[in-house]
Homo-oligomer: A and B are copies of this chain.
Amino acid sequence: MGRLRGLTVMNETAPLLAERAGPERTSALMRLLVSCADRPGIVAAVSRFLFDAGANIVRSDQYSSDPSGGAFFLRMEFTLETEDRAGFPERFGLSVAERFDMTWRLWDTTQPKRIAVLVSRSDHCLTDLLWRRQRGEIEGDIVLVGSNHADSRAEAEAYGVPYHHVPVEKDRKPEAEAALLEILDGRCDLVVLARYMQVLSGDFLERVGVPVINIHHSFLPAFAGAGPHERAKERGVKLIGATAHYVTEELDAGPIIEQDVVRVSHRDDVAALVRQGADIERAVLTRAVQWHCQDRVLRHGNTTVVF
């Protein structure tokens, strides 16, 4: 599989269609994500390949960071009959992807992404995810919850989701990360930090092998560090917000997926800021997770393309 410097399609470590094929189906909705250096003929080549393969494109989004010499991003949603699927990924790789030196990925939507949620004490984001999953409002399965606290066990288990308590003792963080990795290993396509208050090491991020999405409070202008709501209150902010982003080794500096704000006033004390911050956090995180599960988010260096 090709790879272009600075471009990464999400989820490359997740299994390909061919490896996950379930029972026979007559037709499936597939998604193809592509990034490569822009040049003429990419759309023609991809769409021609899909047409010849018997696929019907139902949605297509494309973006070039620059008309000349930029990076090219493509997301195509198409239906494919069962009998047309044998060897499909291999043929695409050989006849199209190699020619354009593409980073690419094929997803079968009948295999929803498996989500592991990590949480600490605050459970507002976890609850929202569990509740929406139950209603079928997120295109993904929550397969496990991990936490450095025992607080949310009952809640997770009420939704039928296994709960793993992995305490993080002072000075024994590497051991805790190792335990977490063992739990996550091969079991998920996405890790969601739903107010998980432990900083993950670069080593963990590399070894976990799947994308990690985080939510954090954010303000205009921002207040990094401890006590952000207290400091925002002291400054008289009129908006509080939240930012969902992919986690990179540099703390809170990864590519942004989604942001939103809510209006506050001097009448809101610090507790009210925290409460409204929680509401906007869960709304933003849920949207980011949903878009990721719909394969609508492509990374481009330290930014994102959200189709």
A150 to B57 Cα, complex, angstroms: 43
For A50, what are the chain B residues with a Cβ–Cβ distance below 8 Å?
A: 44
Write 20 A-B pairs (CB below 8 A) sorted by A numbering. Answer: A40-B57, A44-B51, A47-B47, A59-B62, A60-B62, A63-B267, A220-B222, A220-B241, A220-B243, A221-B224, A235-B253, A235-B302, A236-B256, A236-B302, A237-B259, A238-B306, A239-B261, A265-B306, A266-B300, A266-B305
For A60, what are the chain B residues with a Cβ–Cβ distance below 8 Å?
A: 43, 60-62
Tally of chain A residues near chain B (CB < 8 A): 61
Given known A57-B40, A239-B241, A303-B235, contact A261–B220 (CB-CB < 8 A): yes
Contact, CB under 8 Å: A234 / B44: no
**A255 at interface (Cβ–Cβ under 8 A)?**
yes
A57 to B303 Cα, complex, angstroms: 22
Most B CB atoms within 10 A — which of A56, A59, A61, A221? Answer: A221
Residues 121-139 (chain A) with a chain B CB within 8 angstroms: 127, 131, 137
A44 to B137 Cα, complex, angstroms: 33
- Checking B131, B259, B300, B306 against A220 with a beta-carbon cut-off of 8 angstroms, the contacting residue is B259
